[in-house]
Structure 1
């Protein structure tokens, strides 16, 4: 059966839920920061990047090279169980990632398909570590009293353990059984249009720390890990002060828990650095990653080596059939080469600062939104109400810009890392058009 762009949605609706965009992506004509809709012939500026997972735009020239195409086609013919069958392509990826992306002092890696499963295995790392710290070394020992301390407005995935942690919208986790693990408030910064913190953030942090103290009082030494996104994405693009993250590091050290940063959305140069946490003075013990990295996983520091038979040393403690996807690994290896060669990190920082400055100017001119915030390609602003947010996203689509919601009333941009200043100016111009249109409809 030949499917035309005009009947893509009708075909899909026969077999699955189709509540995504009305577009039909043309994989040949989409280029750089532009998504081409083959149904309408219209080009959309991509401030969405497949939920921050597609880093270097569509049909990057280096992905069109004969050598790369030969490599990725060759590995796609056979799906390898990477955990048990090793290839030169796997070794090239692991070496590139381990030497150019992972920071020093993080020798342990684990690969898996899916961001939620990356978080799951970070939790398993912590549970195993904590159980053995407590002297529970027999695999039949009861460890059901171990818990994970986590935060309100968190999104860590939709599978298994992670459903007990995700708490953005109830339709994502409601009616599924969950663990009652300790959850504390989120002391995020609120900003004015100049980037200054305007809420009483120290008081907010103090309240959260009191809740953390209470959680440790209730659960004693059974908290295996403190889990946080260094910037909450779906929960509202919520930023934390370095001082608060330092406090979490102190809790983890003093209470013998692992500090886990979930960087599935923020990692791999999205902030202008390889990892969002590198903008702080705080080093986590374990980091989960995914999306832009194509294949997902975790890396961990030497603190886990306080237990000699940790999950990175003991066979089969954490594993999966495929051990990630070799096609994704080959693609990520190419991404790493491009990012290093073209100094993409600096470009992301410069373009991000330009977009933030432009959005703040629009905010001051129009009053349509406030609290412009972000680092690198991870940018957001807040509108007066959920209704205004829906209207803003619709108006942006009318201006051919694809953006995302986050939190209760915020809009987030997830920009391609290759976005230029000229592309950014086009985004800002279209945002102005959307705001002008919004003023006549809301």
Structure 2
């Protein structure tokens, strides 16, 4: 005979089990609001101070990533973060990367799942099973910048075969390509040899390839995979490359995607190469380790010259296209850093001066487009160093880090302030 006490106990246990299941069971929550941000209207200057790093989509949305959620707000020039236009959350999986193409936001999760969100409606557009990521946890720290600006193993590329946009997902020894419009898996390839044990983070090229450095080769080599079908098409060893070969992609879109060039370093030298065709082509103008590529121009900061300047050369000819004299130098001290070439984007070159002025130059002519101190009206101090930098549609977003920069510090000691990401129109 079951007593009242036993029955009560069973009821409590049953209720606790239901609560635990609801809390711990795998779950997915899509929350569209129907809100449609307007296009930005701000003049050049700082427009927003945010606690999270925004990925700008469709000229209207700001997309953010946290440990288990991707969300969007807008407009782009809204001064602070506001109620999301939509959000997407999974449990217990974690976000490992986010990329965008057109109005499609593709999220990657720790179980390898790819989930695409339509930025306009906030609804799931498609989902697909991809390779298990090498890093199965969220790596974005407090701002999410690494997750939305430099996700490991997640890239976009345009196929030279048919012009379609492909989402590339790499993990372990697997590399897979998905149609960005539908999520259909186009192919999946197995990397030769020891897979990820021998290879660093890859990148896609404007020549329709995916590049990986194979450090186990003797000497190390760059492998190029054709993105329409995933085949290994060539293995390239730069002349003079030694065991310390390192490769830096140049002229890329966000997420190390659609890169137009690369720079190899090793054996005491650095060399630039264009990768917009089937084979790497030498580009001496990109040899300097600080040179950036935009609109066919190699741009660098010539700070050691008698008349310091930002200099641009035509990449294919080496001819100097323009020279912009630096403003009166402010000597860097313990609470600041010197002039630096901050970033480039189509049509624009961005310089950050020691006085924390953001100067934007026309990439083709060197004409000054805008200049202002990169602080919000409520801020006074400029004692910060730039962390992740992101450019899109004429905007610049900059993580601001505490000086001296200590990557091993906790978030309170690493970031300059709570709302550490500043967004400016140029």
State the TM-score, normalized to the length of structure 1. Answer: 0.26
Greater fraction of residues in helix: 1
Larger Rg: 2
Task: Return the structure number with greater strand share.
Answer: 2
User: RCO greater where, 1 or 2, for CA within 8 Å and sep 6 or more?
Assistant: 1
TM-score where L is the length of structure 2: 0.27
